[in-house]
A = this chain, B = another copy of it.
């Protein structure tokens, strides 16, 4: 579900990696259905991905493609025989739709889910995780936080056995880029325009600059690493529209970053003053997360937070993990 930047990158990577996936993991996935925002294509024997992508590129949608099928997405998910739904429609952080309905449809028809869509998890993660568990199904979402930087995997695989007492992070690359530019005396508006020209920010920058994208990722991280059982409505959110970066502050060796925090006082996203040498003060559109573990203290991971190719790679990793799980019940993460 979803054939935008990430969807296309995912299908492309699936082609490129096909041989490797088979050789290394015995994985030879067949894509039986694909839907974009207008229509869908279906072939129980497996779609020809190369031809499908070529059509999408040329026509702009799947309309007129030989395997096109007139079926709404809800029925498609229900009727199609498949092991896993890959849900990568755009994130809606208010309603979670259409991803939320897609994921519930998969749940009802007994399909595992792999998603890079933050919306459904931000809105209903605790319930979704419990329902999937209950039905013996898996929902995997490496790609929702950090793109190709394995924040979720890091805290689960490398800090296992320790209680995580707090999470603090720069979870949105666009705002980090803007705040970095503002350090050079550029206004918020001009920096935003730059970010849009560079392709970091979308035409409607609300989710980024008002903190909602950070909040959604914080919800996912906090549920994952601290078992918080929270949703978007539990986060206090303040964006960067009103931030002014005084030269005096910079002269004192400080700066401002949009920081998402989960600790024993709850969840919040807000601009905060930090020493410029704090590990969370990173340049460009990078992301950074500090996990503070009970015994071993603070660990900070820094990396690129987004990108179609990187997110697609995270989806492929989830696919491999799912295959391993289905085969032998090896621990997932």
List the interface of chain A (C-beta within 8 A of B). Answer: 24, 148-150, 153-154, 157-159, 161, 180, 275-279, 281-283, 286, 288, 295-304, 309-310, 313, 317, 320
Contacts and interface: CB of A to CB of B under 8 A. Distances in A.
Contacts of A281: 277
B279 A282 contact: yes
A282 B299 CA distance: 12
Most buried by B among A24, A148, A158, A297: A158
A288 B320 CA distance: 30
A153 B162 CA distance: 15
For this chain, the copies found in one complex come to 2
A60 B279 CA distance: 40
A310 B283 contact: no
B283 A275 contact: yes
List the 9 shortest-distance A-B pairs measured between CB atoms, nearest first.
Answer: A148-B296, A300-B302, A277-B283, A150-B158, A157-B157, A279-B302, A299-B303, A153-B158, A154-B158
Q: Would you call the interface of chain A mostly helix, strand, loop, or mixed?
A: mixed
A300 B299 contact: no
A24 to B, nearest CB: 8
11 contacts: A149-B299, A157-B157, A157-B158, A277-B283, A279-B279, A279-B302, A295-B310, A295-B313, A298-B304, A299-B301, A301-B301
Contacts of A283: 275, 277-279
Contacts of A149: 296, 299
- Give the interface centre of A24, A150, A302 by most chain B CB atoms within 10 Å: A302
Nearest to A255: B277
Given A295-B309, A296-B303, 14 more contacts: A148-B297, A149-B299, A150-B159, A277-B281, A279-B286, A279-B302, A295-B310, A296-B304, A297-B304, A297-B310, A298-B303, A298-B304, A299-B301, A299-B303
A242 to B, nearest CB: 24
Contacts of A150: 158-159, 299
A151 B227 CA distance: 25
A159 B288 CA distance: 17
Highest count of chain B CB atoms <10 Å: which of A24, A149, A277, A313: A277
A276 B277 contact: yes
A161 B317 contact: yes
A48 B169 CA distance: 45
B302 A297 contact: no
A300 to B, nearest CB: 4
A24 B282 CA distance: 38
